[in-house]
Amino acid sequence: MHGMKPVRLAALAAAWLLAGTVHAAAAPQVVPAVPTAFEPVRLRMTVDSCSFEPASVRVTAAASVVRVTQQFNLCLAPAPPIVVDVLLGSFPAGDYRLDLYATPQVSGAPAVTLPFSVSDAAQIAIFPGPQRPLDAYTGMWWTGSESGWGLSLYQSPSYALFGVLFVYGTGQDAQWFTLQDGRWTSFTTWTGTVYRTRGPYYGGAFDPALASIARVGSASIDFIQAPGKEDTAVLRYTIDGAAVTKTITRLRF
């Protein structure tokens, strides 16, 4: 290609990369295929492992259109394909369109266009409906002045909450408990059951006969909504008769 004009070389490279990077055998798709409101939505595509440059991928949005741009590496030969997931975000119920570009900027027609719809989460058909949160509380929570223990929370798109509490026992041995089987008593307060789980030694073969789960108490979390109290909650739990109340904050990093 010695002596080839830069414009011509760039055009050939773009055309080759577009043809070789997005494989026809595994067309780009939105996952999950039918997302529910505020569930994380991803773009899944099969790409050339040499030409694909993860650091160049950018996701932007305007109105109901989500755009993904990228910059490809110039490779002398195709490399083995890999599957890549790109987080697009979480969306309210509605109709959307994904535009995938083979360029680092939004210019010209997209290489791929994928329409997708987000549906409302299924709810029990009663009135008034059951309590549910209006915010998402997934994250790591702790008390900043008390390093060494904390609470990991996951809130599903169907509003179910699951927690793992990692603390220390009377002998300063590490212990962890799960918070589950709960319900929302208001749009900011969740209450549920605390379980202790035991199992075999982590370095050996898993023996189900040594695994057990037992109910040991209850817990509630009141997610405070007040000026200056963002990402703050009051955690109350009782385990084996010991009652504890802590103010916790969501860890941001």
Residue at which a domain ends, from 118, 148, 176? 118
Same domain, 149 and 47: no
Note whether residue 36 is domain-resident.
yes
Nearest CA to 96 out of 70, 124, 119, 123 is that of 119
pLDDT at 156: 92
Residue 3 gets the label, from left (phi > 0), alpha (psi -120 to 50) or beta, of left
Same domain, 156 and 237: yes
- The Cα 198–Cα 200 span in angstroms is 7
pLDDT at 62: 93
* Domain extent at residue 87: 16-118
pLDDT at 253: 81
Note whether residue 233 is domain-resident.
yes
Please report, in angstroms and rounded to a whole number, the separation of the first and last CA atoms in the chain: 48
Note whether residue 86 is domain-resident.
yes
For 47-63, how does the pLDDT look when each residue is reduced to its tens digit (9 = 90+)? 999 999 999 999 999 99
Note whether residue 1 is domain-resident.
no
Residue at which a domain ends, from 118, 149, 176? 118
Same domain, 88 and 152: no
The encoded tokens of residue 71 equal 């910059």
Note whether residue 191 is domain-resident.
yes
Nearest CA to 184 out of 146, 113, 232, 134 is that of 134
- The Cα 90–Cα 116 span in angstroms is 13
- The Cα 178–Cα 86 span in angstroms is 30
Total count of domains within the chain:
2
Same domain, 102 and 170: no
Same domain, 43 and 94: yes
Same domain, 107 and 152: no
Same domain, 41 and 99: yes
Note whether residue 133 is domain-resident.
no
Note whether residue 8 is domain-resident.
no
Same domain, 113 and 192: no
Same domain, 153 and 110: no
Low-confidence ranges of the chain (pLDDT < 50): 1-25
Same domain, 246 and 151: yes
For 148-187, how does the pLDDT look when each residue is reduced to its tens digit (9 = 90+)? 999 999 999 889 999 999 999 999 999 999 999 999 999 9
Same domain, 20 and 91: yes
Residues 213-225, buried b or exposed e (16+ Cβ, 10 A)?
eeeebbbbbbbee
pLDDT at 123: 65
Nearest CA to 84 out of 122, 124, 133, 49 is that of 49
- Pairing mode, strands 65-69 and 94-100: parallel
Same domain, 113 and 148: no
Note whether residue 10 is domain-resident.
no
